[in-house]
Amino acid sequence: MRAFFRDCQEWDWIPRRFAPGRSLAVPRSVNALIAPNPRVLAADAWAKLLWAGLNLAEADLPAAGRGNHYYPPAMVRALAVVWLFGGLRSDEIQRLRVGCIRTAPHPDDAAGAGAASTPPAICLLEVPAHKTGPAFSKRW
């Protein structure tokens, strides 16, 4: 409704007698109640997503023309794995740079026990800073 009345006033269809953005604004008490409502994905749906992401083939990608793809298949597979296992929001995935994964030694390896019993290294995903938050590392 705000956009409709604003456009009508802007196009001089009706006289400017009120401010639609102010008069038809959502009350603060209602706006405070608006929040994300995440839900748990069903196990079978999650299994299908995992299978599709891990078994992504070149034939599954849309062709841009002449059989070429918009993005290299290896990059699309890497993006699918980051989306499935990274637990990042879309804007955080967009900010990732080449070489954003680094390895750190496993904390249990501090004693230097030996090659046979050495646990695998921990991967850290470096997410760059954004407008309102600092950069952070995510264990992966």
Instruction: Convert the pLDDT of each residue in 19-55 to its tens digit.
Output: 999 999 999 999 888 888 888 889 999 999 999 999 9
Q: Is 138 helix (H, G, I), strand (E, B) or coil?
A: strand
pLDDT at 58 over 70: yes
pLDDT at 110: 59
pTM to 2 decimals?
0.58
pLDDT at 67: 65
> Which of 76, 91, 87 lies closest to 125 in space, CA to CA?
87
pLDDT at 75: 86
Confidence band (pLDDT; 50, 70, 90) for 10?
very high
> Which of 46, 40, 56, 134 lies closest to 95 in space, CA to CA?
134
pLDDT at 112: 56
pLDDT at 138: 87
Instruction: Check residues 108 and 137 and name the one with the higher pLDDT.
Output: 137
Which residue do the tokens 């793809």 mark?
Answer: 69
Question: Using an 8 Å Cβ cutoff, are 54 and 78 in contact?
Answer: no
Instruction: Check residues 110 and 15 and name the one with the higher pLDDT.
Output: 15
Cβ neighbors of 112 (< 8 A, separation 6 or more) are none
> Which of 20, 87, 134, 44 lies closest to 10 in space, CA to CA?
20
For residue range 83-129, what is the model confidence (pLDDT) as tens digits?
Answer: 898 888 888 898 898 888 888 877 766 555 555 666 777 888 899 99
